[in-house]
Amino acid sequence: MKLRSLASRLLLASALLLPLFLGLTGYALNLGFEDSLEAAEAEGLQSHVYLLLGAAELEGNTLSLPEAFAEPRFSQLNSGLLAEVRDQQGQQVWLSESGRLLVDELNTRQAKKPASNSPLRSGGTQFFSEKLADNPFFIFNHDVSWETSEGQERVFRFTIFHEQSLFIAARSAYRAQLWRWLGAAAALLILMQWLILRWGLQPMKRLAAELKAIESGHHEQLEGEYPREVQQVTDNLNAVITREMQQRERYRNSLSDLAHSLKTPLAVLRGSLGRAEEREEQIETQVQRMDEIIGRQLQRAITRNLAPQNKVRDIGQIAQRLALALGKVYREKDMRFEAHVNEDCSFNGDARDLMEVIGNLLENAFKYGHKHVALSGNIEEDVLLIRISDDGPGIEESLQNDILKRGARADTAQTGQGIGLAMATEIISGYGGSLEVSRAALGGAEFIVSLPR
Amino acid sequence: MRLLIVEDEPTLRDQLQQQLQEQGYAVDVAIDGREGLYYGEETNYDLAIIDIGLPHINGIELIRQLREKGQHYPVLILTARGEWQDKVEGLEAGADDYLVKPFHHEELSARINALLRRASGHASPQLKFGDIVLDTAAKTVSRNENLLELTSFEYKTLEYLVMKAGSTISKTELTEHLYDQDFDRDSNVIEVFVGRLRKKLDPDNSLKPIATIRGQGYLFNLKQDAH
């Protein structure tokens, strides 16, 4: 099964981990509680031993203890607390009133289980659990040595038995309480986590809703305030959306441009259908016009790439390649080409676009120049300037503006392919740049391309 | 002059073939890069016209392979997109000029003439040999500024000899470069043409522009005027 929602993934993970974590916590708490209960028990039994020791007296060889104690449970039958004293041979020397019904059990125990009755050692204590008459008991041994009036040393073992029923009751009460609280904590934690997730994922929901609104055309941008992590995504999304919209806008413009500009030549063609003598010439002109229009739009559609993150650094190399290729086409001119491109020159955009611009301008320079073409590139006030000049006839000042207009050609005598300069202008303006013409130091025309960086 | 056209678009291919045949060229056509490579390797053409977007082997690769195989005839590339990337790659691969589709017949003829002229080492379309002037653009020949009336084949024979001036041209080579494949290849026809040419160019037999090298062929041996 694949979980598609982030919230359910996180919830499932914590629903699996939380019981494990809480179980371990409960186990540790329970263990700690038992340990401290038992420690308290051992301490209590030890103090009972002291009570007995304080009351015990050695007369001759026999140890005597009084009938009644400050602790009434020793005198009460079946009180759950009993005490016995045995000598080195394991003989019972004394038994509290409360244990009278268990005499046999105690003797059997002594006989049966010497293991729990390790050899006597003066001052030694032992604390452990054991079953007596099918009931669990805490047992505390304390070995004491007495010096008789003859100066003999005698060792006795004082043993306190305490039934565990109270302890067990306390422990299960604690456990029940513990699990109830832990369960409640788990439920609360999962609930809180669910709320936190809902709250934390709220921006995502909003984002989805906003995207839907954009998709259905109600919005143009993601406008909401988002947390920093999501904001990066929305900023990028906005950039993509803007680019898409610009692209769409451009396609729409191109299409309507194309449709409108093709209609005129078609109208002319239709108008000339009746007059035979005009027909051929008109068809020729209009077909050429339509071809140029299509070519321009096609080129626009193919080459334009709005990705601004591209950086073209090898402007000099592009120019050299183009010049080498053009040198081949205009071989008989034996053109001298010089390129000076500063090292810091770079162009933010598509390398093919740059190639189109430089290619079209260089082609003109090679076509109209006599012996010499020069290209320079440098950065001035964060604008990339590319100058292309030749030693040809140049362009008259009065024509310099016209020549930059679409498709206009100052010289119709030269066979050319028409739309090169217009293409260059179009691409340059697409990047927010400009193209100027002036007279070159070489004597011919100089084209100056300015492209913002 | 024998030309090779490698173009996959049938209408354009037929148009080109027809146009160039009308202008007196012998024309072979190939419909894709593979066929183009086969023809281009086999025959020593005077010029090839190669479309960039070809099936099997693209135009740029075709040019590269032809150049690697040692074919040096001029190559004109045709490109539909007109992008500089294509043009530069084509020229770098070994093409000599480019033409963006669609183009005028006249534009194509001018480019072909220029390339053929360049290949023969002539800069201007008008070639002057003393009194005799050969205009490769207008495809006319004049002597003492009088236009000579030459048939198309006579002109082609003369043009080929002039383009290859200085080297002896065999009758076989002449036939191969002047005729389409299915034409009659009787070498006597060449002798007849050359005979008539000599009479028209040099009626009083004073210049002797076309020499016969026995057993080898013909040699155009007039020197071109300095510019």
Domain co-membership, A259 together with A120: no
With cut-offs at 50, 70 and 90, classify the pLDDT of residue A415. Answer: very low
A186 within domain boundaries: no
pLDDT score for B80: 79
| Residues within 8 A of A (CB atoms), B 123-182 only | 123
A163 within domain boundaries: yes
Domain co-membership, A25 together with A165: yes
CB atoms B102 and A291 under 8 Å = yes
Q: Structurally, how many domains does chain A consist of? A: 3
Q: For residue A2, is it left (φ>0), alpha (ψ between -120 and 50) or beta?
A: beta
Q: Does B118 touch chain A (CB under 8 A)?
A: yes
Q: Tell me the pTM.
A: 0.54
CB atoms B91 and A332 under 8 Å = no
- The continuous run of DSSP H or E covering A248 comes out as helix A228-271
pLDDT score for A1: 54
Nearest to B82 among A295, A331, A415 (CB): A295
C-alpha A433, offset from chain centre: 41
Domain co-membership, A263 together with A406: no
Domain co-membership, A272 together with A321: no
A176 within domain boundaries: no
CATH of residue A16: 3.30.450
pLDDT score for A365: 92
pLDDT score for A411: 41
Q: Kindly report, residue by residue over A133-191, the tens digit of the pLDDT.
A: 888 999 999 988 888 777 788 888 899 999 998 899 999 999 999 999 999 998 999 89
How many angstroms away from the CA of B84 is the closest CA of chain A? Answer: 6
Q: Which of A283, A303, A323 is the last residue of a domain?
A: A303
Domain co-membership, A86 together with A162: yes
Q: Which of A282, A303, A324 is the last residue of a domain?
A: A303
Q: Helices in A272-415 by DSSP H: which ranges?
A: 276-303, 315-329, 351-368
CB atoms A299 and B82 under 8 Å = yes
Q: Does A321 touch chain B (CB under 8 A)?
A: yes
Domain co-membership, A160 together with A86: yes
The predicted model gives A401-427 an average pLDDT of 58
Q: Which of A274, A303, A332 is the last residue of a domain?
A: A303
Instruction: List for chain B the helix, strand, coil content (%; round to 5).
Output: 40, 20, 40
The predicted model gives A89-104 an average pLDDT of 86
How far is residue A20's CA from residue A182's CA, in Å, rounded to a whole number? 12
Q: Range with the lowest mean pLDDT among A20-34, A48-62, A113-127, A232-246?
A: A113-127
CB atoms B123 and A332 under 8 Å = yes
CATH topology of domain B2-119: Rossmann fold (3.40.50)
Chain B interface, mutation test: which of A328, A356, A363, A364, most B Cβ atoms within 10 Å?
A: A328
Ranges of chain B with pLDDT below 50: none
Nearest to B88 among A295, A322, A360 (CB): A322
Nearest to B88 among A291, A325, A331 (CB): A325
Q: Which two tokens stand for residue B224?
A: 């071109």
Domain co-membership, A25 together with A159: yes
Q: Which two tokens stand for residue B146?
A: 């009088």
In CATH, the number for domain B126-220 is 1.10.10.10
How far is residue A397's CA from residue A446's CA, in Å, rounded to a whole number? 12
More confident residue, B35 or A277: B35
Q: Which chain A positions have a beta carbon within 8 Å of B103's beta carbon? A: 417
CB atoms B87 and A359 under 8 Å = yes
pLDDT score for A416: 44
The predicted model gives A390-413 an average pLDDT of 65
The label of the residue with tokens 């302890």 reads A167
pLDDT score for A30: 93
Highest mean pLDDT among A243-247, A370-374, B126-130: A370-374
Domain co-membership, A141 together with A240: no
Domain co-membership, A62 together with A88: yes
Residue A344 confidence (pLDDT) above 90: no
A445-452 β-sheet, strand order: A336-341, A372-380, A383-390, A445-452, A434-439
**What angle is formed at CA B64 by the lines to CA A316 and CA A374, rounded to 5 degrees?**
25
With cut-offs at 50, 70 and 90, classify the pLDDT of residue A58. Answer: confident
Counting Cβ atoms within 10 Å, is residue B196 exposed (0-12), middle (13-18) or buried (19+)?
middle
> Residue A308: which residues within 8 A CB-CB, separation 6 or more?
A348, A349
Contact criterion met (CB below 8 Å) for A57 and A75: no
The predicted model gives A376-404 an average pLDDT of 85
CB atoms B118 and A325 under 8 Å = no
Q: Which two tokens stand for residue A280?
A: 């051929």
CB atoms B84 and A322 under 8 Å = yes
Q: Kindly report, residue by residue over A285-335, the tens digit of the pLDDT.
A: 777 777 777 776 766 665 555 555 567 888 988 999 999 999 988 888 888
Domain co-membership, A294 together with A356: no
Q: Does A382 touch chain B (CB under 8 A)?
A: no
ipTM exceeding 0.95, yes/no:
no
Domain co-membership, A323 together with A264: no
Interchain CB contacts (distance < 8 Å): A and B: 51
Domain co-membership, A286 together with A425: no
A217 within domain boundaries: no
CB atoms B118 and A332 under 8 Å = yes
A54 within domain boundaries: yes
- The range of the structural domain enclosing residue A161 comes to 9-170
A234 within domain boundaries: yes
A416 within domain boundaries: yes
Handedness of CA A242, A243, A245, A249 (dihedral sign): positive
- Parse chain B into domains and list their residue ranges: 2-119, 126-220
CB atoms B84 and A356 under 8 Å = yes
Q: Range with the lowest mean pLDDT among A17-26, A105-114, A265-274, B40-49?
A: A265-274
Residue A409 confidence (pLDDT) above 70: no
More confident residue, A350 or A273: A350
The label of the residue with tokens 């001036």 reads B165
